[in-house]
Structure 1
């Protein structure tokens, strides 16, 4: 039995060679007659008789679907004895992802499974790829398990379903990893001693984004307090002094908080006289300590 391989949506050609011995001929799909001679028996209008002469008896199956796959028989009656010729139609189907995980948010340290299901003939090979500055490929499979996920593993994951019929079908899933704030930087941005402007900058990495609060010696600082302003933007917070005064010196704490927990960094702002300068000037110094609280 010969195979006829066609792609879904294309036309399958069923050709039956004839000779002068043939008196009657028919094409059958399994046991159902499609055409007997020139007479149509099938109700399927996609099946078309395209050639009936002394050399061949040919039908087309247009817009092939997977349900058309299977054996077809050309039945011939000859002057000597009946005979048959069989072909098997193989329908190839491009890969198609029909189910993939939605974008997902998880807490750092938890386990997560990403699922990608696809159909196609031949059966597609499913693979996962992590799309980052340094891309990473994973073992093939419908399910990608990530154990004890870290913040570094957050980002976009691409699922690809591939077979030899057509280009791969590709879908992506975004993984968000929630974690408590981590103070990554606290520093003086500009300024100097008494009578000069000064800005303290606090930066925190956090998902979801952190809410910043500033304290001076345990006192919650509000925007406008003693000429001090607070400017928050994304992962940064600025504590801005228009003019440093003697009252400005002391212990300052930047606190970053989200639903996962909080982290803080404290620094001591004090003055040291720079005697080497002419005339001598005051210089601001910072001493930094950090702490964090994890909310369970």
Structure 2
């Protein structure tokens, strides 16, 4: 019978050498997910983390965030538990790490390990900040200094930053600084104090304090919560565009609206007047005034005619803290002024960018129009084209260029590498200004070579990216096929060895019978 035993051992060793039959030592830790789109685990929550091992005989254990082995004692707040599950026809060992009541100190890196491999997972536990004793709205009189308090309680200990209108508020440390910051701790939690000195009307607005919680062990374990405090500065009426006389342009017999709007708290009440002479005011009835409480405006409608042109109208805004006045004057609208100078700023293959200026702008401008024509043989030798030649030119509305400069405009849809004569004029509701003095300017040649090179570069880059993706997919598929073949080889190998044992047992039984 020894020869039969030797045959079985030989077959087993041969199979291991050919198919690599061995128990898999790989493990898999399920990724941690949090509820309600959170990126952290709230304090007091129950959480389980599963670690699976394909070899049921492989020893597996959890190490906590301090590197100690988690015990299998379900009476502990944190414990480990072993389970055996059936997966694809084979038994899988699952080691489950359980937090019955998570605390902030549980945050950190946990390790699931066997004697040959290990895998880490990060757990983030946060006691989210609560804002306590923090007001939502404060009203303070102008001229005073006031301290806003923002108090947050949570773990990890929050730090607080202040901002207004998207800009961080900082303490320059200077005695003349507008803002002063101070921090302190009390029984409720962490408190930040923002002192605003000498309150003005411009200090009115929303101040945001943000509590930032960060875990020193995990870079991705953080939380930010914000609280808005509306600061109302009680102040006398202030006109945001200043107290200079406002000119209102109007055509003959046109109805115009004189809009009076002052920033004030409490809100202003308005009265309208016009000057009969330099010292005498005539007050309009409140029935003639359109009051808009929602917007804080009062509008007086006037029909512009010869009796009202150059007359001064006065709006007086009043609240319990004071009053302020603003003067309006109706001016008869006329055609706009002729541009004094036109200069070329930049040129491309289809566009010319122009800088247009005036000696003085007396009347509103609604748009700028350009007239242009190609410099050809008929006007090539002259300094400027004749007026009759301009009739053959084209006209186009100039486009305002938003580059921070007020008088930069663009003439578009031109032919490349072409020289043009150009002149411009302005327009409003009354009509057009005279044409400016003409200038000559040329478009450039389009750089098609650069475009082709760029397209070729992009194509090559996309091809390389696609090839890399294909290689990765092929690699993943090959690894999947190898894993599948290994599993099938293992299964059939075990089946083959079992058959050998059965056959050996039958042979021994037959020999004994004989």
Q: Normalized against structure 1, the TM-score is what?
A: 0.53
More strand by share: 1
Matches within 5 A, 1:10-89: 50=81, 62-65=100-103
Equivalent in the alignment of 1:98? 131
Change (3 A) 1:125 1:153: same
| Worse-matched range after superposition: 233-242 or 167-176 | 233-242
Equivalent in the alignment of 1:240? 301
Q: Deviations over 1:115-148 (max 9, x none)?
A: 122223332112212225xx13335731111111
Equivalent in the alignment of 1:260? 321
Deviation at 1:255, TM superposition (A): 0.8
Equivalent in the alignment of 1:119? 153
Deviation at 1:190, TM superposition (A): 3.9
Structure 1 CA distance for aligned equivalents of residues 304 and 329 of structure 2: 17
Contact 1:94 1:163 in 2 (8 A): no
1:215 paired to 2:305: no
Tell me the SS of whatever aligns to 2:262: strand
Matches within 5 A, 1:168-247: 168-183=224-239, 184=242, 186-191=245-250, 197=255, 199-216=257-274, 217-223=280-286, 229-233=288-292, 234-242=295-303, 244=305
Tell me the SS of whatever aligns to 2:157: coil
Tell me the SS of whatever aligns to 1:237: strand
Q: Deviations over 1:43-75 (max 9, x none)?
A: x9x576747xxxxxx99551134799xxxxxxx
Deviation at 1:114, TM superposition (A): 1.6
Which of the pair has the greater relative contact order for Cα pairs under 8 Å at 6+ separation?
1
1:131 paired to 2:165: yes
Q: Deviations over 1:184-243 (max 9, x none)?
A: 3553534467x775654434232333221013434431156xxxx323343443332336
Change (3 A) 1:12 1:124: farther
Contact 1:126 1:162 in 2 (8 A): yes
Change (3 A) 1:266 1:212: same
Q: Pick from 150, 153, 169: which aligns with 2:200?
A: 150
Tell me the SS of whatever aligns to 2:289: strand
Structure 2 CA distance for aligned equivalents of residues 251 and 94 of structure 1: 64
Structure 1 CA distance for aligned equivalents of residues 255 and 159 of structure 2: 63
Tell me the SS of whatever aligns to 2:152: strand
The ranges of structure 1 where at least 4 consecutive aligned residues each deviate by more than 6 angstroms after the TM superposition are 247-251, 267-271
Structure 2 CA distance for aligned equivalents of residues 62 and 270 of structure 1: 79
Contact 1:97 1:116 in 2 (8 A): no
Q: Normalized against structure 2, the TM-score is what?
A: 0.33
Contact 1:251 1:266 in 2 (8 A): yes
Change (3 A) 1:240 1:97: same
1:107 paired to 2:170: no
Contact 2:164 2:207 in 1 (8 A): yes
Contact 2:247 2:330 in 1 (8 A): no
Contact 2:104 2:127 in 1 (8 A): no
Structure 1 CA distance for aligned equivalents of residues 310 and 286 of structure 2: 18
Change (3 A) 1:59 1:147: same
Equivalent in the alignment of 2:113? none
Uncovered stretches (5+) of structure 1, i.e. residues with no partner: 1-5, 14-34, 52-57, 69-90, 272-296
Tell me the SS of whatever aligns to 2:198: coil
Contact 1:103 1:174 in 2 (8 A): yes
Contact 1:214 1:255 in 2 (8 A): yes
Tell me the SS of whatever aligns to 1:101: coil
Contact 2:250 2:330 in 1 (8 A): no
Structure 1 CA distance for aligned equivalents of residues 42 and 325 of structure 2: 62
Structure 2 CA distance for aligned equivalents of residues 7 and 251 of structure 1: 66
Aligned residues: 206
